[in-house]
Structure 1
Amino acid sequence: MSLSNVFILMIVIPQILVQSVRGKDCVCDLKNTDPAFPKSKFKRVETIALQCTATITSEKMLENDRRLLGLQQRIKQLEDYVGILEKEDDKNLYGAVSLRIIELEYAEILSLLDKLNKTTFNSQHLNVQTVADLQDMKDTMEELERFDSMQVMKKERQNRSIKKDLEKCREDKAPPPAPTLPPVKGRCGLGQIVSVKGPKTYSLTVYSTSYTYGAWGKDANPAPGDENKYWLMVLYTSNMYGNFIRQYNSLSTMLLGIGHTDVYIASSNPTTNTVQGPNMVMYGNALYYNCYNTYSVCRFNMTARTVSNVALPKDTGYNSKFPFGYLAAAYSYTDLDFVTDEFGVYVIYATTSNFGNVVISKVETSTPPVLGQTWSTSLHKKTVTNTFMVCGVLYATRFIDNDKEEIFYSFDTKTNTERYDLKINIKKMQANIKYLNYDPRDHLLYVYSDAYILTYEIVFN
């Protein structure tokens, strides 16, 4: 810049004059003929740029796409409901109930459509304003560029153009890339899920067919010496509540129903700290579950026999507001689903602010537990029968018929990408899968299905 040149001259010229005059003082006045740099204009451009950065975030740019995708899925689900209703031959016994369900679904679609229209209008207004701001910034920067007397910006543009041409030349000369495998899901190196085999284990519990809601499995992060232990909990009060965990030293003792230890969380059902709903997990010698009559994550320490908790957002659905299920049935008190994977514990739930769609929150396994990173999806929770996580990817299942469940959906927490087209079948032995969780240690799915306990093997590509 010319101002820098002036500064240099004011230092160098007096030194030369002092040497020539030999000791006599000399004063030299320099006048800058260039106009003063308009700092106010530069500051205004900087302010506009900061405002644009704060206003136009990646989350807002994806908001319309996410809502539109969710709307498309809701309309498709409504079409399925209407198709089922048309095929019903129940002498109008359940017709009124089905019509009411469809009416509610239609009302929610209209509400979602209204919000989408408002968001679209706001986006259009923001787009017009942003175009005007960018043009203003462009004009101002071109005006300020004439103060670049050393032509730094011009040379920089030339360098970028040369680099771009060079990169294009390299690409043209490079050999064609070798064929690649399909993109890998997750971050564990396991690859994509291509199928589910089994069941490998299929047995009634010691309780026989008395209790159709429950959960079982292994500790996903066991203490030393507890690697082979299994746990079981049945909801023996109204298929809703449980207050003790039954532990076995091995799978064989569990299948035989011998040698167990009962650990009590609460004295009775239902009461404070009672387990509500079947969607619980064991991780790090602690049980994570939905506490009775709250929207809280509860953590029961198996050694200290103490309970700590953390509340989810206030608009979280609980007490069967957003349960799992399908048109013919809802799985009671399944609002909060706890899952484990290679990275820890998550809680899956739905909120009214996300229109009843699934929300994922990482649970930091401290005492008390703390909610970590959270992701919002476009998957409506009431259209799902179960969820599980593998390598940071959420998978959801839906009811196809009494013999088949389908893994149809995935959400990658690393890339925030959703898919509705997986079509991976699970062969069922009973009609309803009330509990499903993935164990990262043996890569098995643990299932509780109408009083039966099962395991399935996940096959990766």
Structure 2
Amino acid sequence: MSQSNVFVLMIVIPLILSQPVRGKDCVCELQNSDSAFPESKLANVEITASQCSGNITSEKMTEIDILVLGLKRRIKHLEENVSMLEKEDNSNLYAAVSLRIIELELAEIQDLLDKLNRTTSNYQQLSVETAVELLNIKDIMVDLEKFDHSQVMMKQRENQRIKRDLEHCKDELNATSPPPTLSAGHCGLGHMVNVSGPKTYSLTVYGTSYSFGAWGRDANPAPEDEKKYWLVVLSSSNVFGHFVRQYSSLSTLLLGIGPTDSYISSSNPTTNTIQGPNMVMYGNALYYNCYNTLSVCRFNMTTRTVSNVALPNDAGFNNKFPFGHLGASYSHTDMDFATDESGVYVIYASTGNFGNVIITKVETSTPPVLGQTWYTSLHRKTVTNTFMVCGVLYATRYIDKDIEEIFYSFDTRTNKECYDLSIYIKKMQTNIKFLNYDPRDHLLYVYSDAYIVTHEIIFQ
């Protein structure tokens, strides 16, 4: 055995004897025959793993999705411009201008295609290189495992397997259970720090005909209804709707296959008609603002019956305190409905609170009952939308056609307000007409100028 692999430990052990022996010590020599631990190999593995993490990030992996969505938008614009050129009958007066616009659109599409090709090629190369690095890391770690004489790694893997099995059992147990009722601010999700996406972005089967509407999932579904999605379009003057359309899954919604329609009334607008785009589904019932009243309506999807409860007499309705931006307003949005982990809320304003936002819990009984109420200092006409997460109200405002900002929060547990959140949502269309949070998947469901969109909330 070479000298470098021999570890010599000299131990001096004083002997305690019945008779003292002067000047005598016992010397033991211990030799470690094992190979020295290759610290340099482990250090190289750590460096390689760090480099892989730096090369592959969630931001980079979403770049392709963003480019594809941008390409879809450009192609759509090109189709519209070509269609406009075909319809022109002006003795070629504007043909040159139209052709120039189309030429610019084609140039931008080509630029996006070039970027997409470069990005795809780079990621393919990155994927190959990373796969090689991971195989090398795996081989080195297998080699290093022989130094694990106490079998720590084996026991750690076994613990990880048991944890995975436990989480799988929990998921199966909770698969058909309603979301737990939690006190405000106690969801265990942490602070909201970002919004990613869009994760889903698609036109409905109605095309661009109806720019106001709402969609999503039941936040507290009945057993076997967990995968259903609902959709409401305001088919009369972008203000009123009289039926709810349901789909068995997101795929059938996107493809427009096999819908089931539940009619609240026979026509628009009339008693019990849905008024405004702000509504939610909870416990197999749709909550919305009833036609021409300051009432919260509850439509039971099974019995097809409507019950209601009135807001205070000074509450705004019929465009008294609507959402808006830049001097414009979103028609008949005086009442906004929201769901979170603990139930349903209605968000509105009143003259008694100087047009500022009021939050009221809606008890989901039949008929519904107004519960606890919170008053804020946020003026409602400065807001484009609101939603609730874990008992915290969030408000958005219009920045430009591409960006919406979540700028405000109100915690119903502490009554604490914050005006400087600065969390940005990347929009694919200009106006967000409906926005709600689903506590089951932590997604924001958006209806934006006839498009249905989802964004994922990132918690700290």
TM range (shorter): 0.5 to 0.7
1:288-330 per-residue CA deviation (whole Å, 9 max, x = no partner) reads 0000000000000000100000000000000011000112420
- Whole-Å separation in 1 of the counterparts to 2:230 and 2:209: 18
Whether 1:366 and 2:365 are equivalent positions in the alignment is yes
Give the letter aligned to residue 386 of structure 2.
T
- Per the alignment, residue 421 of structure 1 pairs with 420
Give the aligned CA root-mean-square deviation in angstroms: 0.7
- Per the alignment, residue 204 of structure 1 pairs with 203
- Whole-Å separation in 2 of the counterparts to 1:449 and 1:329: 16
- 3-state SS, counterpart of residue 253 of structure 2: helix
1:335-346 → structure 2 map (5 Å cutoff): 335-346=334-345
- Per the alignment, residue 355 of structure 2 pairs with 356
- Whole-Å separation in 1 of the counterparts to 2:377 and 2:402: 27
1:194-222 per-residue CA deviation (whole Å, 9 max, x = no partner) reads 00000000000000000000000000000
Whether 1:222 and 2:221 are equivalent positions in the alignment is yes
Give the letter aligned to residue 195 of structure 1.
N
The alpha carbon displacement at 1:186 in A equals 2.3
- 3-state SS, counterpart of residue 208 of structure 1: coil
Whether 1:431 and 2:415 are equivalent positions in the alignment is no
Give the letter aligned to residue 364 of structure 1.
E
What is the identity percentage for the equivalent residue pairs of Structure 1 and Structure 2?
79
- Whole-Å separation in 2 of the counterparts to 1:307 and 1:340: 19
Structure 2 unaligned segments of length 5 or more: list them. Answer: 1-183
Give the letter aligned to residue 286 of structure 1.
A
Whether 1:190 and 2:194 are equivalent positions in the alignment is no
- Whole-Å separation in 2 of the counterparts to 1:265 and 1:298: 11
- Whole-Å separation in 1 of the counterparts to 2:362 and 2:388: 13
- Per the alignment, residue 442 of structure 1 pairs with 441
- Per the alignment, residue 273 of structure 2 pairs with 274
- Per the alignment, residue 459 of structure 2 pairs with 460
Whether 1:383 and 2:399 are equivalent positions in the alignment is no
Give the letter aligned to residue 225 of structure 2.
D
- Per the alignment, residue 125 of structure 1 pairs with none
Moved over 4 A (4+): none
1:190-339 → structure 2 map (5 Å cutoff): 190-339=189-338
Give the letter aligned to residue 251 of structure 1.
L
1:243-294 per-residue CA deviation (whole Å, 9 max, x = no partner) reads 0000000000000011101100011111000000000000000000000000
- Whole-Å separation in 2 of the counterparts to 1:212 and 1:239: 7
- Whole-Å separation in 2 of the counterparts to 1:340 and 1:248: 20
- Whole-Å separation in 1 of the counterparts to 2:200 and 2:247: 16
- Whole-Å separation in 2 of the counterparts to 1:373 and 1:388: 17
TM-score (norm 1): 0.60
- Per the alignment, residue 94 of structure 1 pairs with none
1:366-393 per-residue CA deviation (whole Å, 9 max, x = no partner) reads 0000000000000000000000000000
- Per the alignment, residue 406 of structure 1 pairs with 405
Give the letter aligned to residue 456 of structure 1.
H
Give the letter aligned to residue 295 of structure 2.
S
- Whole-Å separation in 2 of the counterparts to 1:400 and 1:443: 24
- 3-state SS, counterpart of residue 401 of structure 1: coil
- Whole-Å separation in 2 of the counterparts to 1:194 and 1:375: 24
- Whole-Å separation in 2 of the counterparts to 1:459 and 1:224: 28
Give the letter aligned to residue 346 of structure 1.
Y
- Whole-Å separation in 2 of the counterparts to 1:193 and 1:275: 31
1:17-96 → structure 2 map (5 Å cutoff): none
- Per the alignment, residue 11 of structure 1 pairs with none
Give the letter aligned to residue 399 of structure 1.
Y
- Whole-Å separation in 2 of the counterparts to 1:333 and 1:246: 21
- 3-state SS, counterpart of residue 236 of structure 1: coil
- 3-state SS, counterpart of residue 389 of structure 1: strand
Give the letter aligned to residue 452 of structure 1.
Y
- Whole-Å separation in 2 of the counterparts to 1:436 and 1:382: 16
Give the letter aligned to residue 274 of structure 1.
T
- Whole-Å separation in 2 of the counterparts to 1:252 and 1:209: 19
- Whole-Å separation in 2 of the counterparts to 1:212 and 1:313: 30
- Whole-Å separation in 1 of the counterparts to 2:201 and 2:328: 24
The alpha carbon displacement at 1:343 in A equals 0.4
- Whole-Å separation in 1 of the counterparts to 2:211 and 2:185: 33
- 3-state SS, counterpart of residue 289 of structure 1: strand
Give the letter aligned to residue 225 of structure 1.
E
Structure 1 unaligned segments of length 5 or more: list them. Answer: 1-184
1:81-160 → structure 2 map (5 Å cutoff): none
The alpha carbon displacement at 1:419 in A equals 0.3
- 3-state SS, counterpart of residue 456 of structure 2: strand
TM-score (norm 2): 0.60
- Whole-Å separation in 1 of the counterparts to 2:261 and 2:405: 35
Give the letter aligned to residue 411 of structure 1.
F
1:382-426 per-residue CA deviation (whole Å, 9 max, x = no partner) reads 000000000000000000000000000000000000000000000
- Whole-Å separation in 2 of the counterparts to 1:186 and 1:332: 32
The alpha carbon displacement at 1:187 in A equals 1.3
1:411-460 per-residue CA deviation (whole Å, 9 max, x = no partner) reads 00000000000000000000000000000000000000000000000000
- 3-state SS, counterpart of residue 399 of structure 2: strand
- Whole-Å separation in 1 of the counterparts to 2:334 and 2:263: 23
- Whole-Å separation in 2 of the counterparts to 1:366 and 1:359: 21
- Whole-Å separation in 2 of the counterparts to 1:433 and 1:285: 25
The total of aligned residue pairs comes to: 277
- Per the alignment, residue 164 of structure 1 pairs with none
